[in-house]
Amino acid sequence: MLTTLKHIPKRKFTYQYPEDPRSVEERNDRYRGIHKLPLDPEGNVKCVACFMCATACPADCITIQGGQGYQREKYPEVFEINMLRCIFCGYCVEACPEDAIQMTGITLPQYFRERQKEGEVLGSSRKDFIFDQEMLIANNDIPEQGLHPDS
């Protein structure tokens, strides 16, 4: 009983999520949000299609088909992440030797709300949750930083 009375005046650690969501500022720098594919200074995707992120993914949600070109040794012709299967563990970020995949600081529902404000209709079918290479590159404009190789 003494332990219970001692903890009553202290700050609560439980957040009532739907009613009291945490703000982005309260999250730490290793927060695991949606993915993005950063570009190198030449404007190409950093990914070299080594398949290490797809191999490390326990949910098997990353699909890569590699291609070869004369300017680059290997590059991804197809790079897709199925967000319905992704468990946001961050293993893909840790496994990537080229730092070619990062996570932003926003959640999937926040992402869809922002895109709907811009006039896009998203989230109405399952194919909207499969992020292709163009969508992942477009996520580079998201300012919130989440899990990345330097953290």
Main-chain phi, psi angles of 65, to 5 degrees: -125, 115
**DSSP per-residue string spanning 113-136:** HHHHHTT---SSSGGGGEE-HHHH
What distance in Å separates the CA atoms of residue 96 and residue 103, rounded to the nearest whole number? 12
Q: Across residues 42-67, what is the average pLDDT?
A: 94
pLDDT band at 27 (very low <50, low <70, confident <90, very high): low
86-99 pLDDT, tens digit each? 999 999 999 999 99
Residue of higher predicted confidence among 44 and 12: 44
pLDDT band at 31 (very low <50, low <70, confident <90, very high): confident
DSSP secondary-structure letter at 97?
Answer: T
Of all residues in the chain, the percent with pLDDT exceeding 70 is 89
Domains observed in the chain: 30-141 (3.30.70.3270)
What distance in Å separates the CA atoms of residue 107 and residue 139, rounded to the nearest whole number? 12
Q: Across residues 19-34, what is the average pLDDT?
A: 71
